[in-house]
Amino acid sequence: MSDMDYTYYGFRNCVGGFFEMPTSDARKLLPSHLEPLEMQHERSILALTCFEFTESEVGHYFEVVLAVIVPPMVEPGRPLPKAAFFPFCVGTSTEAARLHAIERWHLPHHMSDLEIAMTESDDEMEVTIRDGDDPVLDFTVTRHEYAPSKNLYNAFTVQAGSDRKFKANIYMEAPHSEHEEEEGSLTLYEHAMTAGLTIDDVNTYPFREQWYQAGLQTFEPLLEL
């Protein structure tokens, strides 16, 4: 595999949180070949991740990813993935970014441009997401100590309208902060993007928070499963 086969995205910031959610919701959101990774009996993990991409094939844009955490796929000779995701809904600030991610990665999207704001203060990042006049979600992530990192993640996708299943290996290379101080917050609103979630049964604080400063996201070519 040559560097020409990879897809690169430069970002200014990436913040994320892991929140407890009902396993009953997770199972409904997952395809049949994937199982949720449970925190405890009947409690699975909702992952929210927000990016500001500054360099890509489709220019500058913001993106939010709602995903269920699943067991990673361990491969001989590879580092252990830090986490594995099944993104069940992605939102972007531009049509070009949306069409690119649907065509290349088979990621399911909310099909309108979102207003995504990432507001950084001394010790936290506040993310607000709006669909026109309608609120979608708000969340905050707090900062901790940063360390240089290059972390591997798995993302699983399914081609719309077919039974074709895929996995992408994604590397995140940037100064990285991660902690479990439960200092962040989450507010979900009734919206098409959150329709698969029992909102009152999703924790309003993350049990894990992470923050990547400016860096590079690298996708390997999709592997069909």
Sheet with strand 134-142: strands edge to edge: 115-120, 124-131, 134-142, 185-188
Are β-strands 83-92 and 223-224 bridged in parallel, bridged antiparallel, or unpaired? unpaired
Residue 158: closest CA among 85, 93, 96, 94:
85
Q: What is the pLDDT along the chain (225 residues), one digit of tens a residue?
A: 556 789 999 999 999 999 999 999 999 999 999 999 999 999 999 999 999 999 999 999 999 999 999 999 998 988 999 999 999 999 999 999 999 999 999 999 999 999 999 999 989 999 999 999 999 999 999 999 999 999 999 999 999 889 899 999 999 999 999 999 999 999 999 999 999 999 999 999 999 999 999 999 999 999 999
Buried residues in 40-73 as b, exposed as e (16+ CB within 10 A): eeeebbbbbbbbbbeebebeebbbbbbbbbbebe
Q: Provide the residue ranges of all domains of the chain, joining segments of one domain with +.
A: 3-224
pTM of the model: 0.95
Residue 220: closest CA among 70, 14, 36, 79:
79
What CATH code is assigned to 3-224? 2.40.400.10
pLDDT of the residue at 1: 56
